Amino acid sequence: MLVNEQTRDLHEAVEREAARREYPSTFPPLPEVPGARYFDSSFYELEMEHVWKKTWLNVGHASELPEIGSYFLFERLGLSIIITRDKNDQIKAFHNVCRHRGAPLVLNDTGETKRFTCPYHSWSYNLEGKLVAVPEEFNFACLDRAERGLIPVRCEGWRGFIFINLDNDAGSLLDFLGPVPRETADFPMEKLRVKRTVSVTMQCNWKAMYDNFLESYHVSSLHPTSLHPYLDSTRMLVSLFENGHARLKTKKKIIDRFVHGTDAKGPLIVDEGPFKEFITGQALFPNVQMGIEPTGFPVLMIWPNGPRQAIMDWKLLGWDEDGIEESGYWDKLVSDTMVIIEEDTVLLDKIQQSLEGGFFTGMMLSYTERPIYWYHEEIDRRIGQNNIPPALRVKQVLGDHVEH
């Protein structure tokens, strides 16, 4: 479909949505989501076992590994994993564990090296994870270097984004992503670079934080001066995709004029089509949300840190353009984004208290909030309904409303 046809169809669809005054007759009512899913420790353990340890997880971006030997640590979910670029220019992942006595090989968050050497006894491994040096090797009667390399972690990439999966039997990353690559095919994702990284810790369940970024129902209330003048939340189209993913395409009230190159505002890349007039909020199960914008945008990754604490890492993605770093453009974009995030998260610790107070029965979601219900369904599919106590299950009602 041509770009102008796509844009025309989007305009027609959002106008129909804005004019709607009744619940869609062909769409099922959304049952309550049990509130205890947001604090029950046994349910949290089920999530850890069946979701976080068996799902493709976005852990970074290829631009964070600019040279052979570059590395960074992924330290979430109680894990420590080395992400590195090997001598063949391939991105690999290994558990940050020496095969001698279990000491961490890497202590710094980022760096560059020719080999990974354990700080405890100096066992050394090359960038491909092979054990290449052992001091006093003659004292190890049973040592076979070929069997004592670093423990690998499945690692695959998609247009610059790095994903890992702790489950060696899981399907491929592209199978997991389903139609998502098609949805972003017209955007030059592979040209993006990480410009800034920020982490925010909140005293709430990870789902309470993630929910906030899967709907725009709250925009006029929480963001009256930051987002509301810019986004028309009544003109939003929601698509549910297989494997728990979703897309939220929201019309802008203010449309910048984009040209290739730079101007006083910064790098301007995409000059036509849906990405100019609509923010495309792409949600990747279980924890990623990115609001794709031509001028650069943050990618949010929300991680559980126990049943009642969440960490949000967000990476600001932008373009390599001369003069932009010196202009302060990216620092200003970080500042503007933090204002929005602080508005979003101001209630979350109080929400967590309310959820656990004993009087909240469950979440009643609207039609526009259906991405929240959809990823809850996916959680239960991955855990297995029979493994979940009946009081904590969600009903499977949205399977017939998935776009392929």
Q: State the chain's mean pLDDT as an integer.
A: 91
Poorest-pLDDT segment among 33-47, 216-230, 287-301, 379-393? 216-230
How much is the pLDDT for 196?
94
Say what the pLDDT of residue 258 is.
41
Per-residue pLDDT at 141 exceeds 90 = yes
Architecture of 57-158 per CATH?
3-layer Sandwich (2.102)
Cβ within 8 Å of residue 334, ≥6 positions away: 196, 198, 316
Can you say how many angstroms the Cα of residue 114 is from the centroid of all Cα atoms in its chain?
Answer: 30
pLDDT exceeds 90 at position 59: yes
Residue 290, classed as helix, strand or coil, is strand
Beta bridge partners of 198: 314
Question: Which pLDDT does position 7 carry in this prediction?
Answer: 77
Query: In this structure, which amino acid lies at residue 127?
Result: L
Question: Any idea what DSSP says for residue 113?
Answer: -
Q: Please report which confidence band the pLDDT of residue 265 belongs to, taking 50, 70 and 90 as the band edges.
A: low
User: What are the pLDDT digits (tens) for 86-115?
Assistant: 999 999 999 999 999 999 999 999 999 999
Residues above pLDDT 70, as percent of the chain: 93
Residues 357-396 pLDDT 10s: 999 989 999 999 999 999 999 999 999 999 999 999 999 9
pLDDT one-digit tens code per residue, 322-347: 566 666 888 888 998 889 888 888 89
pLDDT score of 185? 87
Residue pLDDT, tens place only, 308-319: 999 999 999 998
On the question of pLDDT at 231 being above 80, the answer is yes
| H-assigned helices in 27-116 | 41-47
pLDDT per position as a tens digit, 169-224: 999 999 999 999 998 888 888 889 999 999 999 999 999 999 999 988 788 888 88
Among 78-82, 174-178, 249-253, the range scoring the smallest mean pLDDT is 249-253
Question: Domain locations in the chain?
Answer: 3-55+191-391, 57-158
pLDDT reading at 55 higher than 90:
yes
| pLDDT value of residue 365 | 97
Cβ atoms of 216 and 248 within 8 Å: the answer is: yes
Question: Which of helix, strand or coil describes residue 262?
Answer: strand
3-55+191-391 adopts what CATH topology?
Naphthalene 1,2-dioxygenase Alpha Subunit; Chain A, domain 1 (3.90.380)
